[in-house]
Amino acid sequence: MTARLDALAGWFAGRGRVLVALSGGVDSALVAYAAHRSLGSLATAVTADYRALSREELESAEAVCSEIGISRRVLSYDELENEGFARNGPDRCLHCRGELGGRLAAMARRLGGVVVDGTNLDDLGDYRPGISAMRASGVLSPLVETGMTKADVREAARSAGLSVHDRPSNSCLASRIPWGTRVTAERLARIEAGEMIVRRHAGARQVRVRDMGGTARIEVDAGSIPSLRAAMGPISEGLRAVGFGRSEVDGRGYRQGGTNVVAD
């Protein structure tokens, strides 16, 4: 892992100013760590604060920056004003990442330098149209270019002492809404509140509350399903309070892309 970290830090050598698109997860955290280690004050983390980003992710990003010591900027905007995103077709991520990539590229032009993100090799094997949108904006992916998988990233982050090394993967709140169902501020808010309720009562680390036409379909990591079922009384009550008509447990557990279907 020392060799991998050295290779990642070496990727930044001679790059000049670098802006790291930092979410609250382990991939971009490791990139930010390596950039700061190599470039010092020439590295800046940039977090997009938009409606589909949970407050937990925003707080994690802030904590990561403090832990690493990297300078930080926040891009605030409302992606619901982007009709391509809000109408929530299979190309939703293309519109979302296209807008983010454009805003990051504009910042890079003002400040000078390049933009990098936390895409790793494993990401390339999934349906992620947002990756191509970021590429079109000139965003580079040092984890891909240095051959790092998700497992490599987690181990390298652990070796570097990053507290998020074992943090469960997350995605934007809009990913809990089936394609074809419009993304609204109200839906995003009840999803975020719903996931907080499930975590509080079930103690699960990996949680998704899928908004299936007003029904909360709850997915947790397989080991947490028994505790979820046991806590469904207060969970169902809490979910009704935030706007879900009913709730159900998905016995298959958490599945990446669980709402990648078109709503009827």
pTM metric for this prediction: 0.91
- 128 and 228: one domain? no
167 domain residue, yes or no: no
- 38 and 99: one domain? yes
Quote the pLDDT of residue 183. 97
Q: Which domain holds residue 147?
A: 2-160
CA–CA dist 29, 52 (Å, integer): 20
pLDDT higher than threshold 90 for residue 154: yes
- 152 and 210: one domain? no
Across residues 210-230, what is the average pLDDT?
Answer: 96
- 150 and 179: one domain? no
* 64-119 residue pLDDT tens: 999 999 999 999 999 999 999 999 999 999 999 999 999 999 999 999 999 999 99
261 domain residue, yes or no: no
260 domain residue, yes or no: no
Q: Which of 110, 125, 160 is the last residue of a domain?
A: 160
Percent of the chain's residues with pLDDT above 70:
97
